Structure 1
Amino acid sequence: MQHFNTPLRSKVQGTQNLHTCLPKGMDFFILLSSTSAVIGNRGQSNYAAACAYQDAFARYRVSLGEKCVSLNLGMVTGVGIVAEQRQLGEALEAAGYQGIQESELLAMLDCFCDPTFGVASSFGSQIVTGLVTPQSVKSKGLEEIFWMRKPLFRNLHQIDQTKEDPTQKTEVTISYAALLNSVGSRQAAATIITQALIKKLSKTLSSPEENIDPNKPLESFGVDSLVAVEIRSWLSKEIKADVAVFDILASDSISALCLLAAGKSSCIQTIEDTK
């Protein structure tokens, strides 16, 4: 419970303290929220909730006639941990976080810190940055991200729409559930799952399939808890296997993980366990 409350206190109580202790009529009042409050964060629901509180508080504050803007920030490219850890940036992009440049962030701060900038409207009190569009995701050969299917984001599907290029190859959708339903051994099922997971990792990590060795653990490819949560969701959706995030991260190799997933898959009707 302590781990859950830590990010809540810093944002919820911190925001309340600033509002209460600072004088009225401030030249500016800026809350640094996160895109997680808008699209969610499967691995850090407490952080997403704390940021959503800041967004709501910004509306409350402007309703009192006080200045306040909540900035839903994604990743800022070129500086900080994203610049230092390339794989982290690639994983965030695959999860739907479109980066903004440091100069763009500084430009927003210049705007909202300007004393002549008036009190924002209710809707203008929240600025969402860096939401990637479905079209841009597909153009990179990535799968549509789970949050894009929610009605809240239906307008994003209207952005950047282009005519279908007849020369562009259409990706074939494979039903792994159907493939697994036809196998008769756990090892055969594991082979299918391994091939599928390598394709998934290739897209998620922006790495060629031939560079992903199934005999190595996921951590050797830079897979962290956020990517592990995405893999868990993919295993549940594609092969109907409920695999814990701990088991995904602790697995000795990709092959071992897929063998475990094969044993948990409800798609497999007949299994003659091979030893």
Structure 2
Amino acid sequence: MKIEDWRTTIQPKAEGTWNLHHATLEAKIDLDNFIYFSSMSGTTRLAGQSNYACANTFLDAFAQYRQSLGLPATTIDLGAVRDAGYVARDEALLKRMKVTGSKGVTELEVHVSMGILSKSVVKPEPTKNTEETKFVDQNTPEQPGSRALWRNDRRMAVYHNSSTDASDGSGSGGDVLKAFLSNAKKDASVLKANGSVQLLAVEIGRKLFSFLLKPEDELDISVSLSSLGLDSLVGVEMRSWWRQTFGFDITVLEMLAWVHWRGWASMLPKEY
């Protein structure tokens, strides 16, 4: 990520909040509350968008800072609003949210929360944050095979350790790919054998189709990647899987630049 991308995302939230804070203090405005919208990404992270997650983490921390001064402050950590704005217009994104365990909120729920806040304004006394966060290790994941963004977060390990039935969702296709890569590590010439690129293209395609929520029987490695609706969000998921599976990294831009499946598969012989 370029520093310009980092600053472009963080500055409006961080500097805007900072300026409002000091402007109201200098003007001696006695606020009933100081409410601003943050995002769940500040707590749960958002793959590929660390600048956005960091900006929202700042907002959450700044609310605690104001409260420590005895000043009112409230952040509302929103998830995706599923019936308004960008998310509501993108059906494919809604499907990906569902499969990753993200339910989002409705516009009505946002308005209701604002109404509750407006009726429960209490100026805080200066205080230090003494809240504790605990895991309840008796619980297990509701959907062990889900692809929730926080599934691989180290803080979630206790849940995976308590479940003996969790599945990585790889299936027989994953076993085929693992066996092929294991042989390739022992003998790199395997990658140059007839049919190797075809096999890799099919296995990569199977994984991509799972992210796109498409049935495997529609897989056709002769079609162009752009025709499948591959976007940057799916690219982030593919990049993470690629790094874990093949042991080297590629950028989302590299993925989006490839026209056909064989472009992806042909990278393997260059790296092994």
TM bucket normalised to smaller: 0.7 to 0.9
Matched, 1:228 2:235: yes
2:141 aligns with 135
Partner deviation per Cα, 1:81-124 (whole Å, 9 max, x = no partner): 11111112233445553312222222222122335455498669
2:52 aligns with 47
C-alpha deviation, 1:242, in angstroms: 2.7
1:148 aligns with 151
1:105–1:97 CA distance, 2 compared to 1 (3 A): same
What residue ranges of structure 2 are gaps of 5+ in the alignment?
132-138, 185-189
Q: 1:114 is matched with which residue: 119, 131, 136?
A: 119
RMSD: 3.4
Partner deviation per Cα, 1:194-236 (whole Å, 9 max, x = no partner): 2332332233222212334322333322222222122122111
Between the aligned partners of 1:212 and 1:112, the Cα distance in structure 2 is 50
Would you say the 8 A contact 2:101–2:146 is kept in 1?
Answer: no
Partner deviation per Cα, 1:128-180 (whole Å, 9 max, x = no partner): xxxxx983443xx54464x334343457669xx9997xxxx995662633322
Would you say the 8 A contact 1:35–1:73 is kept in 2?
Answer: yes
TM-score (norm 2): 0.76
2:259 aligns with 252
Matched, 1:32 2:37: yes
Secondary structure in 2 aligned to 1:100? coil
Would you say the 8 A contact 1:111–1:117 is kept in 2?
Answer: no
How do 1:86-125 residues align onto structure 2 when only pairs under 5 Å count? 86-94=91-99, 97-114=102-119, 116-117=121-122, 119=124
* Percent identity of paired positions between Structure 1 and Structure 2: 27
- Matched residue pairs, number? 249
Between the aligned partners of 2:140 and 2:159, the Cα distance in structure 1 is 7
Between the aligned partners of 2:163 and 2:73, the Cα distance in structure 1 is 37
Return 86-95 or 250-259, whichever deviates more.
Answer: 86-95
- Aligned partner of 2:215: which letter? P
Between the aligned partners of 1:199 and 1:134, the Cα distance in structure 2 is 28
1:176 aligns with 177
- Aligned partner of 2:50: which letter? S
What residue ranges of structure 1 are gaps of 5+ in the alignment?
126-132, 267-275
- Aligned partner of 2:269: which letter? G
1:273 aligns with none
Would you say the 8 A contact 1:35–1:74 is kept in 2?
Answer: yes
Would you say the 8 A contact 1:69–1:124 is kept in 2?
Answer: no
Between the aligned partners of 1:225 and 1:13, the Cα distance in structure 2 is 28
1:2 aligns with 4
1:217–1:109 CA distance, 2 compared to 1 (3 A): farther
Q: 1:201 is matched with which residue: 205, 208, 222?
A: 208
C-alpha deviation, 1:45, in angstroms: 1.7
1:123–1:88 CA distance, 2 compared to 1 (3 A): farther
TM-score (norm 1): 0.75
